[in-house]
Amino acid sequence: MEIEISSHFLRRVKKLTPSEQRNLSEKIEVFRKDPYDSQLKTHALRGRLRGLFAFSLNYSKRVIFTYIGKNKALLLDLGSHEEVYV
């Protein structure tokens, strides 16, 4: 899976702790190999975010993304449930 990253996503990454940044790197590698790996808990979003998807970084943080091709994803947002789903 090829991955592109939005500028908004990059700004959010800079706010993570070093530990969370390492965890994010690991999760992105898992995502690159298999976007639906069970440890990611990838799911389609509903409501106003319909058409987008999310996977879990940890218990409290989510990564929001969309597919922009058959084998390409764009990471859009990162944050707590309240930050990304509102």
- Report pLDDT for 44: 97
Please tell me the total count of domains within the chain.
1
pLDDT (0 to 100) of residue 85: 82
38-66 average pLDDT score: 95
CATH assignment at residue 62: 3.30.2310.20
Place of tokens 């969370």: 20
Three-state SS across the chain?
A: CEEEECHHHHHHHHCCCHHHHHHHHHHHHHHHHCCCCCCCCCEECCHHHCCCEEEECCCCEEEEEEEEECCEEEEEEEEEHHHHCC
Cα–Cα dist 52/15, whole Å: 23
Per-residue model confidence (pLDDT) at position 86:
74
Each residue's pLDDT tens digit, 2-38: 999 999 999 999 999 999 999 999 999 999 999 999 9
Range(s) of the domain holding residue 56: 2-84
